[in-house]
């Protein structure tokens, strides 16, 4: 597939350094292009993976408003959410909300959904990945240390699995670890292969 993709211009429309790192891990050539200011609201009736898919598609639409695509351009947009007890956890607004989110996740199982959208000038495809994450109980000291030291305000659910908190809190994962980081690269690889055929 590397050979076939040489004919295409892959664009990652994401500010996330984790997504950049993961896409780089696939050995693909790509550029990063983002337009700040996109609206991340969604209809209240949406739940779970439907939120992540809706937002990934919305980011693609926003990108298309700003940039005209050529026939061989493929834009990758993604959105990750954390779902626990019937509630969506997005990115925390500040320290207080980050502490609240981690307290909610402490000792519980939660689900991470990432919606990914591939868009070209002529077609669009979207898919999602679902991973169950089991956290051990976290003390208030551990939560406060993590929030103060790592400032996880750009992460859904206020944590990064690849950071200190992931090392000490995650007891078990069912599904893709990379999905928890923000990009299910296994599914993305398969989706890209189908997309260019």
DSSP 185: H
- Residues identified as active-site: 79
Which pLDDT score is estimated for 47?
92
Confidence tier at 1 by pLDDT (50, 70, 90): confident
Q: Token pair of 79, please?
A: 């959105």
Percent of the chain having pLDDT more than 70?
Answer: 100
Q: Taking Cα atoms as reference points, which of 32, 10, 34 lies closest to residue 21?
A: 32
The answer to whether residue 66 scores a pLDDT higher than 80 is yes
Which pLDDT score is estimated for 155?
93
User: Which residues are 10's β-sheet partners?
Assistant: 74
**pTM score of the predicted model:** 0.93
Q: Which domains does the chain carry? A: 2-195 (3.90.950.10)
For 141-181, the pLDDT digits (tens) are: 999 999 999 999 999 999 999 999 999 999 999 999 999 99
Confidence tier at 2 by pLDDT (50, 70, 90): confident
Confidence tier at 74 by pLDDT (50, 70, 90): very high
Lowest average pLDDT, out of 32-46, 62-76, 88-102, 139-153, goes to 32-46
Listed in order, strand segments (DSSP E) in the chain are 9-12, 31-32, 73-84, 87-89, 109-119, 124-135, 170-174
């Amino acid at each position: 597939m590397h050979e076939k993709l040489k004919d295409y211009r892959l664009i990652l429309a994401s500010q996330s350094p984790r997504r950049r790192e993961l896409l780089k891990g696939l050995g693909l050539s790509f550029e990063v292009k983002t337009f700040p200011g996109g609206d991340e609201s969604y209809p209240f009736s949406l739940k779970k993976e439907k939120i992540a898919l809706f937002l990934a598609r919305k980011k693609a639409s926003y990108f298309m408003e700003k940039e005209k695509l050529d026939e061989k351009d493929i834009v990758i947009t993604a959105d990750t959410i954390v779902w626990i007890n019937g509630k969506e956890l997005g990115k925390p607004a500040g320290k207080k909300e980050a502490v609240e989110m981690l307290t909610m996740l402490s000792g519980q199982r939660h689900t991470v959904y990432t919606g990914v959208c591939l868009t070209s000038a002529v077609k669009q495809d979207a898919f999602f990945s679902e991973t169950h994450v089991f956290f051990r109980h976290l003390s208030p000291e551990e939560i406060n240390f993590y929030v103060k030291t790592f400032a996880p305000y750009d992460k859904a659910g206020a944590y990064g699995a690849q950071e200190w908190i992931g090392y000490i809190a995650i007891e078990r994962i069912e599904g893709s670890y990379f999905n928890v980081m923000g990009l299910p690269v296994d599914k993305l690889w398969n989706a890209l292969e189908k997309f260019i055929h």
